Amino acid sequence: MWRMDCRGALPAICTACFIGLVVSQTTLTPAVMNTTIIENASSLTMTPVILSSTTPGCFTYNTSTCEPCPPGSQYDNNTLLCACCSDPGLCLFPGACLPCTRGFYQPLAGQQQCLPCKQGFYTNFTGSPLCHPCPPGSFNNITGKDSCTSCSPGSFSSQQSSTSCAPCAQGSFCSSIGCSQCQMCPGGTEALQTAATVCSPCRPGMHKAPHQAMCQICGSGYFQIHYGQESCDVCPEDHYCPSMLFSQSPDVNPILCPNDAFCPEGSLSPGYCMETFFRKEGETCELAPVTISLLVIGGGVALLFIILMVLRRRRDTDGELSVARAPLLRKERPQGRFYGIPCDAEPVYAGW
């Protein structure tokens, strides 16, 4: 056995010597080497050296060419290719640096460690200088992840870099994974609960337009006897449709109108003629016989009352005239004197 001394040897042999020394001490990943030289040097017996900048191994390298580890990688202090450089974060060539693993990144050069991706971000390849935001429809709530998780059915995330998914609101649904937005239930269907994956049809007596969130009760004068309808039908003629909102026992079918009532199209309730005084005749109400009799009697009484009032008025007027004339008929001439003779004395012929 013999020991090779690289001092004074040829440059090619010394190069193989020191490369073999480095390989024997540590694994260079992903350092790019000449595999032919490594194979030749691996058969040589080398004396290990202590890691130091003053060791012959470090003197062999041209440390003035050390470069900072590029973005996406970190300093590897377990290899002479990096440890021989004076400052941490520098290596003899970029391939000697360790690339950041999946889920980690490094945006700067010459760094000693990689950083984990934050929540809502990921990177799925090694040597990444940055992390990518989770796309809409997915989330990530753990640091250092190399992938995002898709939202489950019934939930969604509409923004990038989401850390969680939100449940679909009432009236909307999501039937698949990775929804970035929940869909409104189609017309005639609804979702009564949050986080719905399917919609259920509206029940009879109810309806829902496409722009509405929940099924609505048919209004007064309308009905609906089918499932999953977008609108209600007008109550037919000779039937009435009470509102289900105030009904104790709602009936979704139109109710037949009674024989003594009127029920035009869209009726909320039957219309009746006034009891006793009116009665139904065809499509209208007419006066009952008793009502006609009462009207005749009432008219006669009213006419008699008017005549009596006129007569009483005339009598009162005549009385007032008699009282006014009485003083004029009974008035006496006042006594007077003309030339010393009373006014009422008989005239006397004086003979003149």
Q: Give the per-residue pLDDT at 201.
A: 96
How would residue 2 be classed by pLDDT, with cut points 50, 70 and 90? very low
* Confidence check: pLDDT of 321 > 70: no
Q: Give the per-residue pLDDT at 312.
A: 80
Give the pairing type, strands 138-139 and 255-256: unpaired
How would residue 55 be classed by pLDDT, with cut points 50, 70 and 90? low
Count of positions (residues) in the chain: 352
pLDDT in tens, 327-336: 555 555 555 5
pLDDT in tens, 130-139: 999 999 999 9
What is the Cα–Cα distance from 97 to 235, expressed in whole angstroms? Answer: 82
Q: 120 with 162: CB under 8 angstroms?
A: yes
- Give the containing element (helix H, strand E) for 68: strand 67-68
* Confidence check: pLDDT of 24 > 90: no
Q: Give the per-residue pLDDT at 126.
A: 95
Task: Tell me if the pTM is above 0.85.
Answer: no
Q: For 293-319, give one letter per residue: b (16+ CB within 10 A) or e.
A: eeeeeeeeeeeeeeeeeeeeeeeeeee
What is the Cα–Cα distance from 326 to 69, expressed in whole angstroms? Answer: 144
Q: Give the per-residue pLDDT at 303.
A: 84
Q: Give the per-residue pLDDT at 317.
A: 75
Q: Give the per-residue pLDDT at 22.
A: 36
pLDDT in tens, 289-302: 666 667 778 877 88
62 phi/psi in degrees, rounded to 5: -85, 90
Q: Give the per-residue pLDDT at 13.
A: 31
Q: Give the per-residue pLDDT at 25.
A: 35
Spatial CB neighbours of 107, under 8 Å, sequence gap ≥ 6 = 71, 129, 130
pLDDT in tens, 85-121: 888 999 999 999 999 999 999 999 999 999 999 999 9
pLDDT in tens, 193-240: 999 999 999 999 999 999 999 999 998 899 999 999 999 999 999 999
* Confidence check: pLDDT of 6 > 80: no
Q: Where are the beta strands (DSSP E) in 163-268?
A: 166-167, 172-173, 183-184, 189-190, 200-201, 206-207, 216-217, 222-223, 233-234, 239-240, 255-256, 261-262
Instruction: Calculate the alpha carbon distances from 205 to 89, 123, 213, 269 in Å.
Output: 75, 54, 17, 17
* Confidence check: pLDDT of 182 > 60: yes
Mean of the per-residue pLDDT values for the chain? 76
Mean pLDDT of 239-250: 70
Rg (alpha carbons) of the chain, rounded to whole number: 59
